[in-house]
Structure 1
Amino acid sequence: MAMAMAMLQAAGAAEIEHPGGTLLAHLQRVSALLSAWGARPALVSAGLCHAFYGTDGFPVALLDLGRRAELAEAIGTEAEALVYFYASCDRKSSYRGLTDDTGLFTDRFTGTRTHPGLEARRDFAELTAANELDIAAISPQMRARHGADLLALFTRWRPLLSEPAWTHCRSVLGQADH
């Protein structure tokens, strides 16, 4: 992950404001959270790099899509594919059907609609949970504003989330008794 950290530093992630400090600090926390949940190395690496291409919720891109091979060289092709998949999500059209085998996932970069497999949907849900829960845990304002919606989303996605992710979700969002 040293190459990924160097790329993040070169792209200015340590200077980009983000809830809880900088984008770099957020990315490091997301990666650490995934690791603590027992995620495999490719998903932990994707957690560190998930904002490289921007996201539907955070439009700042650190790396142009034409340079995907550089990120793949730094973190591996599986991890880079996870980063792309996460970044490409058109949330409005994709979130609703994520737990459904026939649910459509829309790539916001290309407009392509696919039916991702179970592993891809689990990885996406886990990375989304780590991302959103980091922000909710560090920002009481964000938690107050979006906590109920996040809890509803992750409750729907419960079949896709690992037990540690679900436990953390309930803890951060105040539903430890469910």
Structure 2
Amino acid sequence: MEKIKMVAARIKTLREIAGKSIPDTAKLLEVTDEQYSKYENGQSDIPISFLYAASRVFNVELTAILTGEEPRLHRYSVVRKGTGPSVERKKEYTYSDLAYNFIHKKMEVFEVKAGQTMPKTLNKHTGQEFNFILEGTLKIIIENNEIILNEGDSIFFDSGHAHAMCATGGRDARFLAVII
């Protein structure tokens, strides 16, 4: 919970630096004023899709929102196993940023651990997404479509369509997510 409050404080600071009101920012991020306020005050779980959109609105690297530090590497970036900054989304997802220290990325790359509980709401964000299943079985909902992916399977989709995922088969799943 402490991480969520730190991330929320960074979002608030970015909004204030940009000189934007809560209603203006909420509109840009396509959420209600009430939901935005909950995110900014650390009173609600913050979806990675929201953080990604906020990074675009405030013109900062996602890493700056997640860690409070700007990435500096520009030739290559190595992230050792288990060292990428992570964001936990309740029981549903844990995201580990696999390219957090590379500046001016054209995509975001995460190792995601998905629990067996389907989120209550579907998320959407601009761009495209690629998921490659590393372990387990993953059920993905995209709008009204349900897709089951097994280890070694992949999916590429327009992430502007509402989507969510959860593990099935009695164990959590782990997958690589690339957001473009």
TM, length-normalised to structure 2: 0.33
Greater fraction of residues in strand: 2
Greater fraction of residues in helix: 1
TM, length-normalised to structure 1: 0.33
